[in-house]
C-alpha cells in the first residue's frame, strides 16, 4: 500500500500552511506514483478526469429506496423554503428540531446532507444486514424491521412524518459524539483548541463560518480534525471540487437549493487565507476548465495499459468516463482501453476482496486481474526481446 506523501505519517511538513501545500497538487501526486512504480523493489520482483454538472446526489436519489428518496426531496424543499422565505422564528425552530441551533443557515443546510454520504460506503457483501444508509432511511420512514404493518408505501410517508423522524435520527444517531469522535480519531496534539468539539452534542465541527481565531484556521498541524489536506486539494484543483450542490432545477433534489458553490468557495477563502504570497488554485483564478485542459478531462482516452472501473451506483460516477453526462455517452470498453461497470456497485466496490461474494464484483475483479497479468507478461516479453537484441 502506497501512502500519499501528505497523509498518514508521510507529511513532509509539520506546519501545513499555504506555502507547505504548494506541492499538494494532482501533478505532484502523479509524479510520486510514477517514481514509486519505477524505483520500488518488491519481494516478488525477480528482475529488477471530469467535471459532472452538479449531479452527485441525483444519482443517489435515483438508486436509493424510492419512498425514502421522495421524502428526502420533500425535506430538502422544506428546509430551503424555510431558510429562504421563513421568518427568523421559523428558521430557529427548524434548526432546534435537529439540534443545530448554533449553526448559521448555510452550515445547517449543509449538515443535513452528510447522512446521505453513507451511500459511499455501502457494501455489496452486506446482504441481509441493514447498512448505515438504510438504517437512516428506515428511521425517516418510520419502518421497524420485523414489525407487521410498518411497511412504507412507495410514495413515502410525507413531510409531516418524515421531517420529525429525520430530525430525531439526526440528533441521536448522527450528531451524538460526532465532533468528539473527529477529534479523537485525528489523534491531534492540540486538544485545547477543540474543547468546544468535545461535548457529546457539539455541532462545532459542522460550523464553517471560521475566522482568524478558529481552530481550523490556526491549527496547521498534519493531524488537524478539519483535514486541511483534503480541503486544500478540493480548493486548489477545481476539477476535483467535491462541492456537492443540487442538480439542475428540472430534477428533484435531495439537498436544499440554498447550498451553492459560492458557499463552498467561501469555506476555501476562510480556511486558507493568503500566506507569504501563496494561494490555492481557486483564489488564483483556476477553474474546472483550466484543469480539464491540462488533463484532457472526459476526452482523455489515448492511454496505454490503463483500465477504468466504476460502480453503477457510485455517487461519484457522474464525474467518470462511464457517466451519462459524458459528451458522446459513456466510454465504451475496448481491448486497448478496458472499461468495467460493477452492476449495482457503489464507491470502489471492486477494491475489496470481501466484495467478491457478489457475482458482479467477482466478474469485474477477475477481468481486471486478467488484464494486469496480460500487461505484466507483455512487459517482460518486451524487456526480454530488447535484452536479446542488445546481445
- In the chain, count H helices and then E strands: 13, 2
How far is Cα 52 from Cα 298, in angstroms, rounded to an integer?
10
pLDDT of residue 145: 61
How far is Cα 287 from Cα 279, in angstroms, rounded to an integer?
14
pLDDT band at 208 (very low <50, low <70, confident <90, very high): very high
pLDDT band at 46 (very low <50, low <70, confident <90, very high): very low
Q: Is the pLDDT of residue 48 over 50?
A: no
Q: Is the pLDDT of residue 14 over 70?
A: yes
Cβ atoms within 10 Å of 257's Cβ, excluding its own: 18
How far is Cα 94 from Cα 224, in angstroms, rounded to an integer?
31
3-state DSSP percent of the chain in helix, strand and coil, to 5: 50, 5, 45
pLDDT of residue 131: 81
Residue pLDDT, tens place only, 86-124: 999 999 999 999 999 999 999 999 999 999 988 887 776
- Average pLDDT value for the chain: 85
Ordered alpha helix ranges (H), 64-115: 66-85, 88-97, 105-111
pLDDT band at 75 (very low <50, low <70, confident <90, very high): very high
How far is Cα 256 from Cα 83, in angstroms, rounded to an integer?
9
How far is Cα 193 from Cα 216, in angstroms, rounded to an integer?
9
Q: Is the pLDDT of residue 165 over 60?
A: yes
- Relative orientation angle of helices 132-141 and 66-85, to the nearest 10 degrees: 70
Three-class secondary structure of residue 309 per DSSP:
strand
Within 8 A by CB and 6+ apart from 43, the residues are: none
How far is Cα 24 from Cα 18, in angstroms, rounded to an integer?
10
Q: Is the pLDDT of residue 127 over 60?
A: no
Choice between 48 and 203, residue whose per-residue pLDDT is larger? 203
Under 8 Å between Cβ of 331 and 301: yes
- Following DSSP, what letter does each residue of 4-67 receive, concatenated? PTTSTT--S-SS--TTGGGG-SHHHHHHHHHHHHHH---TT--------SS-HHHHHHHHS-HH
End-to-end Cα spacing for the chain: 37
Give the rounded percent of residues in the chain with a pLDDT score beyond 90: 44
Q: Is the pLDDT of residue 356 over 80?
A: yes
How far is Cα 384 from Cα 382, in angstroms, rounded to an integer?
5
- Model pTM score: 0.83
pLDDT of residue 227: 85
Residue pLDDT, tens place only, 213-226: 899 899 999 989 99
Instruction: Name the residue among 74, 14, 26, 3 with its Cα closest to residue 232.
Output: 26
Q: Is the pLDDT of residue 276 over 60?
A: yes
Amino acid at each position: 500500500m502506497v501512502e500519499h506523501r501528505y497523509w498518514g505519517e508521510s507529511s513532509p511538513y509539520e506546519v501545513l500552511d499555504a506555502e507547505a501545500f504548494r506541492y499538494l497538487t494532482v501533478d505532484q501526486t502523479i509524479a510520486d506514483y510514477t517514481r514509486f512504480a519505477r524505483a520500488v523493489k518488491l519481494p516478488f520482483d525477480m528482475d529488477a478526469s471530469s467535471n459532472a454538472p452538479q449531479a452527485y446526489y441525483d444519482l443517489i436519489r435515483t438508486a436509493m429506496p424510492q419512498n425514502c428518496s421522495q421524502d428526502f426531496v420533500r425535506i430538502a424543499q422544506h428546509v430551503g423554503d424555510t431558510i429562504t422565505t421563513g421568518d427568523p422564528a421559523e428558521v430557529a425552530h427548524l434548526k432546534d428540531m435537529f439540534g443545530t441551533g448554533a449553526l448559521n443557515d448555510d452550515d445547517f443546510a449543509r449538515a443535513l446532507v452528510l447522512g446521505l454520504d453513507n451511500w459511499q460506503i455501502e457494501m455489496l457483501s452486506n446482504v441481509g444486514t441493514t447498512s448505515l444508509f438504510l438504517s437512516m432511511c428506515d428511521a425517516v420512514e418510520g419502518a421497524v424491521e420485523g414489525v407487521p404493518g410498518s411497511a412504507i408505501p412507495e410514495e413515502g410517508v410525507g413531510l409531516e412524518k418524515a421531517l420529525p423522524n429525520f430530525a430525531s435520527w439526526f440528533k441521536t444517531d448522527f450528531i451524538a459524539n460526532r465532533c468528539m469522535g473527529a477529534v479523537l480519531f485525528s489523534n491531534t496534539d492540540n486538544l485545547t483548541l477543540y474543547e468546544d468539539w468535545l461535548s457529546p452534542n457539539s455541532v462545532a465541527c459542522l460550523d464553517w463560518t471560521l475566522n482568524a481565531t478558529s481552530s481550523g484556521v490556526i491549527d496547521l498541524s498534519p493531524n488537524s480534525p478539519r483535514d486541511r489536506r483534503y480541503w486544500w486539494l478540493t480548493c486548489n484543483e477545481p476539477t476535483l471540487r467535491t462541492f456537492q450542490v443540487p442538480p439542475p432545477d428540472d430534477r428533484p433534489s435531495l439537498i436544499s437549493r440554498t447550498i451553492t458553490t459560492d458557499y463552498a468557495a467561501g469555506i476555501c477563502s476562510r480556511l486558507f487565507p493568503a500566506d507569504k504570497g501563496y494561494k490555492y488554485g481557486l483564489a488564483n483564478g483556476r477553474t474546472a476548465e483550466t484543469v480539464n485542459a491540462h488533463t484532457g478531462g472526459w476526452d482523455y482516452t489515448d492511454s496505454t495499459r490503463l483500465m477504468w472501473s466504476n460502480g453503477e451506483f457510485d455517487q461519484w460516477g457522474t464525474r467518470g468516463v462511464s457517466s451519462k453526462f459524458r459528451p458522446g455517452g459513456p466510454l465504451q470498453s475496448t481491448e486497448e482501453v478496458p472499461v468495467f461497470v460493477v452492476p449495482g456497485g457503489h464507491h470502489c466496490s471492486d477494491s475489496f476482496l470481501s466484495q467478491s461474494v457478489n457475482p458482479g464484483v467477482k466478474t469485474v475483479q477477475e477481468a481486471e486481474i486478467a488484464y494486469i497479468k496480460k500487461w505484466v507478461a507483455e512487459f517482460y516479453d518486451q524487456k526480454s526481446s530488447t535484452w536479446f537484441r542488445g546481445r
